[in-house]
Amino acid sequence: MKKLITFLLAMTFLMSGQVLAASIARMDKDELKSLLGDKNLVVLDVRVGRDWNSSEFKIKDAVRMAPSDIDQVEKYPKNTKLVLYCA
């Protein structure tokens, strides 16, 4: 259920860009750094192609996923913590 809610929030954000910031759980870089290496964590880089290609900053082991392919998150086990980032 949590994964479905995260997915729906992410899709709403990506498609409309009008989601209120308070409705999406956010974390800062220190919180994410503390989670890196956790086997139940998947970091999804959902930046559009040109932004991803031209960026020199990428999170190690992040999975590149085009926003149009976001429905593929269902392939991850339910206990997986998904972190989406686009900047």
pLDDT in tens, the chain (87 residues): 667 766 766 666 565 554 445 566 788 889 999 999 999 999 998 888 788 878 888 888 899 988 888 888 889 998 898 898 887
Retrieve residue 55's tokens.
């960026």
Q: Which residues of 34-65 are buried (b: 16+ CB within 10 A; e: fewer)?
A: eeeeeeeebbbbbbeeeebeeeeeeeeebeeb
Q: What is the pLDDT of residue 13?
A: 59
How do 41-45 and 63-64 pair as beta strands? parallel
- pTM for this structure? 0.66
Q: Which helix (H) or strand (E) holds 25?
A: none
